[in-house]
Amino acid sequence: MKNRVFTVILIGFVLLSAIPVFGQYSEVERDRRGQTGMKFLSVSLDARSAAMADAVTSQIASSSAMFYNPASLGWFEGTLDASLGQTQWIADVTYNAAGIAYNTPIGVFGLSGVMVDYGEVTETIRTDETTDDGTQGYEIIGSLNPSALAIGVTYARALTNRFSIGGNVKLARQSLGDVAVARDVGNLEEKNYALSTAVFDFGILYRTGFKSLNLAMSARNFSQELTYAEESFELPLNFRIGVSMDVMDLTAMDPGMHSLVLSVDTERPRDFSEQVKLGAEYLLMNKFAVRAGYIAPTDEQGLSFGFGLNNIAGLDIDYAYSQFGIFGNVNRFMIKYGF
C-alpha cells in the first residue's frame, strides 16, 4: 500500500513540476526560436538511443546514460562500463564521444567526453570592391577550423530499490578560431572567439513495481547566458518526461528469449516546439536487437532505425541510421565493454 501511495505521489510531482516549466516556455515568442548556442550539447551521441528516437529517458542504461538521463546510471549492476562512439552528422560534421562508469558502494561515478570536428571552413573578409550586381564583394583570406568540446563528471545512485537520482557537471568549450575582424593598411586584425562555461544536468527515475514500467524526468544543459562579441545567447536547455516498459512482461513468453521495450518521451526544448518521441527495441535471446523510432512534430528529421549485437567477444556493437530530409542522413556507431 505504501509503495502505491508513493507511486501516485511521484507521478503527481512529475506532472506538477512539468506544468509550470512548460507554461513558462509557452510564452516564448516565435522570433526567439532557434537562437540558442553550443547546439552540439543537444546532439544524440549513442547509437542505441538514436535508433529509438532518443526516447530513452526512463530506460535503464550504463555509461551511455550520461548523455541522456544520468539517473539511469544508478541501476548499473556491473563494476565498470566503457563506451566509444562516432556520429557522422550533417554537413560533414563529426562527433566523437566516450564514456566510462564505475560502480562503488556509495554510488556510480562516471566520466564522459564529446569532441566535435567541424572540418575546415573558408574564411572571407568584406572588401570595398563591388561585384557585377552592385553588391559589396569579399576576399578569401584563408580557412578556419572551429571546434567544440565537453567533458563531464557524473554521479548517480539508487536511493531505494525503486528510485534513483543522478547529475552531470560538464565543462563545455566552443571555439570559432582566430577570426579576421578588420583590415588596416593591408594587415589583418584578428580576434579569437572562444567561450567556456559550466553546464549542469540532472534526472530522476522511478521503477513503479508494476512489471518493468518505469517513469523518469530529466533536465539538461543548465548554464549561464553567454556572449560572443555583442550578441548574447543561452544554451539548449531541455526538459524531458519519459515512460517505458517491456510489453513481453504482459505475456507468458520467456523473457530470456524475447523482449520488446516500448518507450515514449515528451521533450520541451528551449528553442523550438514540444516534441513527442516514440521508440521500440526488440531483443532476441539477449543477443540480437532491432530498433526503430519516430519524432513528431519535426521539420526534417524522420524515421530512425538500427540494430545491435550484444556480448560479441565481450563487446556490444550498435548502429543507428536517421533520416534528416534535405540534409541527408546521419549514421551513428557505438561500441561498449563492461563487466
Cβ contact 178:190 at 8 Å: yes
CATH for 189: 2.40.160.40
Question: Shortest CA distance to 33 belongs to which of 270, 203, 244?
Answer: 270
pLDDT tens figures, 285-319: 999 999 999 999 888 888 999 999 998 888 999 99
Tell me the three cell numbers of residue 31.
522570433
**Residue 243 identity (one-letter amino acid):** V
pLDDT tens figures, 77-123: 999 999 999 999 998 999 999 999 999 999 999 999 999 999 888 88
Structural domain boundaries, residue 45: 2-338
Tell me the three cell numbers of residue 155.
554521479
Band the pLDDT of 18: cuts 50, 70, 90. Answer: very low
How many domains does the chain fold into? Answer: 1
Band the pLDDT of 66: cuts 50, 70, 90. Answer: very high
In DSSP terms, 95 is beta-bridged to: 87, 116
Question: Shortest CA distance to 246 belongs to which of 207, 219, 275, 274?
Answer: 207
Tell me the three cell numbers of residue 306.
538500427
Question: Shortest CA distance to 142 belongs to which of 117, 178, 92, 174?
Answer: 178
Average pLDDT over residues 146-163: 96
Q: Which residue has the higher pLDDT, 320 or 92?
A: 320
Residue 28 CB coordination number (10 Å)? 14
Cα 149 to chain centroid, rounded: 14
